[in-house]
Amino acid sequence: INVSGFASVDMTAFKKYKFPIPPLEIQQEIVKILDQFLALTTDLLAGIPAEIKARKKQYEYYREKLLTFKPLTPLNNKELA
C-alpha cells in the first residue's frame, strides 16, 4: 500500500508475469465480432435521434388532428327530414 492508501503494483513482478494471448485465429474472430458489434451500435446510435424526431412529428400531427376540428353547427328540422 502506498501513501494514498491504494495498493500499488510491484513493477518488477508485473513485468515478469506472462499474460496468456489467444492464437491469432481466435484474435481475428474476436475482432470480427467486436467490429460487427460496433457497426450495430453505431447504426443504433445514429438511428435513435432520427426515430425520436419522427415520433415527435407524428405526435404533433395527430395532436393537431385531434385539437383542430370544425365546430359543429346545429341542425335544423329541414336537414333531419
Q: What is the pLDDT of residue 78?
A: 63
Distance separating alpha carbons of residues 64 and 66, to the nearest angstrom: 5
Cα end-to-end distance, the chain, whole Å? 97
Chain segment 4-63, per-residue pLDDT in tens: 677 888 899 989 999 999 999 999 999 999 999 999 999 888 889 889 999 999 999 999
Q: What is the pLDDT of residue 43?
A: 87
| Least confident among 20-24, 36-40, 65-69, 73-77 | 73-77
Domain ranges within the chain, ordered by starting residue: 33-67
Examine the pLDDT at 79 and tell me if it is beyond 70: no
